[in-house]
């Protein structure tokens, strides 16, 4: 059995579909499908057409995990995508329980049974830093989301000398792709720009900020299918390429190439049809909590064993919105 937490969410559901595609169907999907004010639609639709052996609510899963009711000998890998990823969430108690304590519980279960454990971290751990190598001096989160993820990364780092099985944290950069329509404001700019373009013929993006010109803010946009493959690689689940054994690492998961928001708009207009770009004032509620530039340093990822190329922005947009 493969456990995928956050399995109905954006990245988790894509993982489930990709696991199905290469023949894996004995999957336990864990998620929370309760209504939430930050969501713009139901997550369960992301699992339409997916095959899995069982589903468990996150609260029930944590209870049975604590009670020792899950047979670790039957778990082949754990792909931990479950988290609160709302960067505007200010409830620190909730965020730390959901992103830190929950992750610790699952980590120790994996360590006890020597189960490969691959989990989602985030580039938000770097905050306003302009250097993205995985070292403490670059780690300056701007919000409780990034902080909660960094605290868990550091917890894993402290345990590494004692770990005998695979534990890999993947710091996701700006992820985009199919199955993110439920994410509301937290969806990628690809999703928001597409909606604007189709409804009004206009793509609206921020005026110059953070030392960048209008629409020139740069992000490392990474296609969700690439992240699914990286997860499966380190968990040893790929049919054509077995992952390395007993890897302990916290590494970046991004393309290593920053692209402008203008480039995103151009890629989308090449798929959906031409439109125009308008620039809007930078939102006040994002001041001091916005990353104007991200670009993954992928040296750590390559040293950990993953050497496959990443999907180019233009190709990823075409995969996300097939014609």
Rounded to whole angstroms, how far apart are CA atoms 152 and 144? 12
We report the CATH number of the domain holding residue 199 as 3.90.25.10
Pairwise CA distance, residues 160 & 109, whole Å: 15
* 319 occurs within a structural domain: no
Same domain, 95 and 239: yes
Q: Does 103 fall in a domain? A: yes
Has residue 105 been placed in a domain? yes
Instruction: Give pLDDT, residue 187.
Output: 80
- Domain identity same for 77 and 170: yes
Q: Measure the CA–CA gap between 33 and 78, rounded to whole angstroms.
A: 20
Whole-angstrom Cα distance, residue 114 to residue 125? 27
**Domain-located, residue 317:** no
Q: What is the pLDDT of residue 243?
A: 67
- On whether both 66 and 203 belong to a single domain, the answer is no
Nearest to 87 by CA among 123, 58, 59, 35: 123
Q: How far apart are alpha carbons 52 and 231 in whole angstroms?
A: 18
Mean pLDDT by 10 residues, the chain (323 residues): 97 98 97 78 91 97 96 97 76 89 97 98 93 97 93 98 97 96 82 94 91 93 98 91 84 98 96 95 78 94 96 97 86
- Residue among 316, 318, 322, 291 at smallest CA distance from 146: 291
What is the C-alpha to C-alpha distance for residues 139 and 127, in angstroms, rounded to an integer? 7
- Structure confidence at residue 88 (pLDDT): 66
Distance, CA of 26 to CA of 54 (rounded, Å): 8
N-term to C-term CA, the chain? 35
In a domain, 323, yes or no: no
Q: Domain count of the chain?
A: 2
Same domain, 272 and 163: no
Same domain for 281 and 138, yes or no, is no
Under a CB-based contact definition with an 8 Å cutoff, are residues 2 and 52 in contact?
no
**Number of other CB atoms surrounding residue 45 within 10 Å:** 12
Total residue count of the chain as it appears in this document: 323
* Overall pTM surpassing 0.85 (yes/no): yes
Q: Is residue 322 part of a domain?
A: no
Residue 301: domain span = 2-177+221-256+294-311
Residues 153 and 205 grouped into a single domain: no
Q: What tokens appear for 57 in the block?
A: 């609510």
Q: Tell me, yes or no, whether 140 and 56 share the same domain.
A: yes
Residue 25 Cα distances to 14, 16, 21, 192, angstroms: 14, 8, 9, 32
Regarding whether 69 and 12 lie in a shared domain, the answer is yes
Q: Show which residues are catalytic.
A: 145, 183
φ, ψ of residue 218 to 5 degrees: the values are -125, 140
In a domain, 130, yes or no: yes
Residue 52 CA to its chain's centroid (Å): 21
Same-domain pairing of 107 and 193: no
251 and 238 assigned to the same domain: yes
Reduced to 3 states (helix: H, G, I; strand: E, B; else coil), residue 120 is strand
Is 321 inside a domain boundary? no
Element (H, E) at 106: helix 102-113
Contact, 306 vs 228, CB < 8 A? Answer: no
Phi, psi (degrees; rounded to nearest 5) at 172: -70, 135
Q: Which residues contact 3 (CB under 8 A, 6 or more apart)?
A: 27, 28, 30, 75, 77, 78, 79, 80
CATH code of the domain in which 91 resides: 3.40.50.720
Same domain, 97 and 230: yes
Residue given tokens 């995969």 in the structure block? 319
Domain identity same for 265 and 167: no
Closest CA to 172 of 247, 95, 106, 87: 87
Closest by CA to 307, choosing from 222, 235, 257, 244, is 244
Nearest in space to 258 (alpha carbons), one of 226, 217, 286: 217
- What is the 3-state secondary structure of 72-89? HHHCCEEEECCCCCCCCC
What is the three-class DSSP state of 318?
helix
């Amino acid at each position: 059995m493969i456990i995928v937490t956050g399995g109905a969410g954006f990245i988790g559901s894509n993982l489930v579909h990709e696991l199905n595609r290469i023949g894996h169907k004995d999957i336990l999907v864990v998620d929370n499908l309760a209504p939430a004010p930050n969501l713009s639609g139901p997550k369960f639709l992301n699992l339409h057409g997916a095959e899995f052996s069982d589903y468990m609510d996150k609260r029930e899963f944590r209870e049975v995990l604590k009670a020792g009711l899950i047979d670790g000998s039957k778990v082949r890998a754990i792909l931990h995508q479950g988290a609160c990823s709302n960067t505007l969430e200010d409830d620190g108690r909730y965020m730390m329980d959901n992103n830190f304590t929950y992750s610790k519980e699952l980590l120790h279960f994996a360590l006890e049974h020597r189960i490969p454990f691959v989990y989602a971290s985030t580039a938000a751990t770097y905050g306003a830093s302009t250097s993205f190598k995985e070292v403490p001096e670059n780690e300056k989160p701007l919000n409780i989301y990034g902080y909660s993820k960094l605290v868990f990364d550091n917890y894993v780092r402290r345990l590494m000398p004692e770990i005998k099985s695979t534990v890999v944290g993947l710091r996701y950069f700006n992820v985009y792709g199919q199955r993110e329509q439920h994410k509301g404001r937290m969806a990628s700019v690809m999703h928001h720009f597409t909606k604007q373009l189709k409804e009004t013929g206009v793509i609206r993006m921020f005026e110059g900020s953070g030392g960048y010109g209008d629409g020139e803010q740069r992000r490392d946009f990474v296609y969700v299918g690439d992240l699914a493959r990286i997860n499966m690689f380190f968990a040893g689940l790929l049919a054509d390429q077995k992952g390395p054994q007993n890897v302990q690492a916290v590494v970046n998961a991004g393309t290593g190439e920053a692209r402008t928001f203008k480039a995103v708009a151009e890629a989308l207009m090449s798929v959906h049809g031409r439109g125009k770009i308008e620039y809007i004032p930078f939102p006040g509620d994002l001041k001091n909590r916005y990353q104007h530039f991200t670009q993954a340093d992928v040296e750590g990822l390559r040293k950990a064993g993953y050497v496959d190329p990443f999907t180019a922005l233009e190709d990823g947009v075409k995969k996300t919105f097939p014609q």
